[in-house]
Amino acid sequence: MKKRQDDYEAFVAKFERKRTSDDCYTPPEVYDIVRGWLSEQVDLAGAQIVRPFWPDTDYRGVEYPDGCVVVDNPPFSIFAEIVRWYLERGVRFFLFAQHKTILGLDAPYTRLVCGADVIYENGAAVRTSFASNLFGDVLAMSVPDLYERLTAAARSKDPLPRYSYPSHLLT
């Protein structure tokens, strides 16, 4: 009977959506910190916040009302394409970005160098910075206060358990 159950589970697993490195969903507490910081820096009064990045959703098909601001975590694999698309259409944005590639795209937007280690909902720890077109003609800026807030939030979580193994055990 166990073999039949294993076969069934393998069969069902073939149809489940495979997760990729782009499946880095932002924990709500991290998103709230970023959005709160952004509202202190930029006047968002009256602006509709849009979050177009969801599984199986194409950001190009989402409605972007006049004056809206995209504050979201896009798939990192198509980050450059997304930034160019928003710039071409005049969509205002504040996007999460991989820290190691934030300076790589040659386009007129602001690179907010943060470098905070963010643990996303899939468990991936990604050093994160941000990209935006809300800061005028500033090419790059550091955001140490946002870094501190994100780091403090990460420290406030329960610490991971530490295990002690006998000295004769090899790993």
Number of domains in the chain: 1
Q: Which of 92, 99, 135, 144 is CA-nearest to residue 117?
A: 99
171 in any annotated domain: no
Domain that holds residue 48: 18-155
* Beta strand pairing call for 110-119 and 92-98: unpaired
Query: 154-163 pLDDT, tens per residue?
Result: 887 666 677 7
36 in any annotated domain: yes
Higher pLDDT, 25 or 6: 25
101 in any annotated domain: yes
41 in any annotated domain: yes
8 in any annotated domain: no
* Beta strand pairing call for 49-50 and 69-72: parallel
69 in any annotated domain: yes
Dist. CA 61–CA 166, nearest whole Å: 57
Dist. CA 28–CA 9, nearest whole Å: 32
Strand order in the sheet with 110-119: 49-50, 69-72, 92-98, 125-132, 110-119, 140-142
1 in any annotated domain: no
Query: 68-126 pLDDT, tens per residue?
Result: 999 999 998 899 999 999 999 999 999 999 999 898 889 999 999 999 999 888 888 88
165 in any annotated domain: no
Q: What is the DSSP string of 2-36?
A: HHHHHHHHHHHHTTSPPP-TT--PPPHHHHHHHHH
Amino acid at 150: L
pLDDT band at 164 (very low <50, low <70, confident <90, very high): confident
Query: Residue 34: CB partners within 8 Å, gap ≥ 6?
Result: 71, 94, 96, 130, 146, 150
Dist. CA 69–CA 134, nearest whole Å: 9
Place of tokens 């198509």: 78
pTM, entire model: 0.78
